[in-house]
Amino acid sequence: MSEIMMQTIAAVIGITALGTTFGVILSIAKKKLHVPKDPRVEAIDVVLPGANCGACGYPGCAAYADKIVHEGADIALCPVGGGESAAQIGAIMGLSASQMEKKIARVHCQGGLFHTKNKFNYEGPHSCRAANQIRGGFRVCSYGCLGLGDCASICPFNAISMGEDRLPHIDPDLCTGCGKCVDACPRFIISLLSVKQQVYVKCKNMEKGPVMKQGCTAGCIGCKLCVVKACKNVFADNPDIDTAITVDNFLAHVNAELCINCGECSSVCPQDVISFPVEVSDE
């Protein structure tokens, strides 16, 4: 047998022995350093909805389950699973969970294609965020929807569709309140409201009525009829309670804690910017 062959065999034997030694060491280390997986992590992951939408603040349901068990994360952060998931997680963790109130996305704008004016022709990327960066957007109204559908594109539950009016329309039965559309809108015209709050303002414009009407015919004009002709009458018998609706910066605002969903404000609004009622399911 030649010297080169003997050296080759010796090298192969040496490498094999070295690999075997490292394998044994790693096997022992794995057993010594092994941390048993807490079965509660898998149990919580099972009761979570599996949407992996990230609304809880973590990259997915499994990560959220791990954080609950090992870092004490709040058990009521999942808007998709809502109170039912929170209660089940609480049972697994031996904690009590207050019933979460379902929330859905609401659009605070009704100045769509047929009610608004453009200040220039926009030919850039089909994105509200991109359009908003060019001279503050192509709409005359700097508060309203740009209608390019960033909210619809990002919705993981197909709960948002863009209508012929180029406004987002939200299906309350599909909306889980994950909040992705809220973050996607550069104009902040979408918010998460309690499913029980039927009265809300469909406008965000804070300009005087005549100025607002230069760009949109469907916005709030700050006339205060909702306050004077409606809400003050509703609470007239109880002067200790403030009205549930106020007008600040030429825009009506609804206080959800005081609002009793009577709808009187909506009935007197000349611009029809106060929504009532909204048919939703609270299940």
Residue-wise pLDDT tens digits, 54-68: 888 898 999 999 999
Domain with CATH 1.10.15.40 in the chain: 39-93
Could you tell me if 247 and 221 are in contact, meaning their C-beta atoms sit under 8 angstroms apart? no
Could you tell me if 156 and 53 are in contact, meaning their C-beta atoms sit under 8 angstroms apart? yes
Residue 122 binned pLDDT confidence (cut-offs 50, 70, 90)? very high
pLDDT at position 79: 85
Regarding the domain delimited by 39-93, which CATH topology (the fold level of the hierarchy) does it fall under?
3-methyladenine DNA Glycosylase II; Chain A, domain 3 (1.10.15)
Give the residue-averaged pLDDT of 108-121: 94
Give the residue-averaged pLDDT of 3-29: 71
**What ranges make up the beta strands (E) of 96-154?**
103-107
Out of 1.10.3720.10, 3.40.50.720, 3.30.1490.20, 3.30.70.20, the CATH code matching 102-196 is 3.30.70.20
Give the residue-averaged pLDDT of 268-278: 88
Domain with CATH 3.30.70.20 in the chain: 102-196, 198-203+218-278
Could you tell me if 110 and 218 are in contact, meaning their C-beta atoms sit under 8 angstroms apart? yes
Out of 3.30.70.20, 3.40.50.300, 3.40.30.10, 2.60.40.3680, the CATH code matching 198-203+218-278 is 3.30.70.20
Residue 187 binned pLDDT confidence (cut-offs 50, 70, 90)? very high
pLDDT in tens, 32-89: 665 567 899 999 999 999 988 888 889 899 999 999 999 888 888 888 888 888 889 9
pLDDT at position 7: 67
pLDDT at position 31: 63
Give the residue-averaged pLDDT of 240-248: 88
Whether residue 282 is predicted with pLDDT greater than 50 in this model: the reply is no
Q: How many CB atoms lie within 10 A of CB 176?
A: 23
Whether residue 206 is predicted with pLDDT greater than 70 in this model: the reply is yes
Give the residue-averaged pLDDT of 264-283: 78
Share of the chain above pLDDT 70, in %: 88
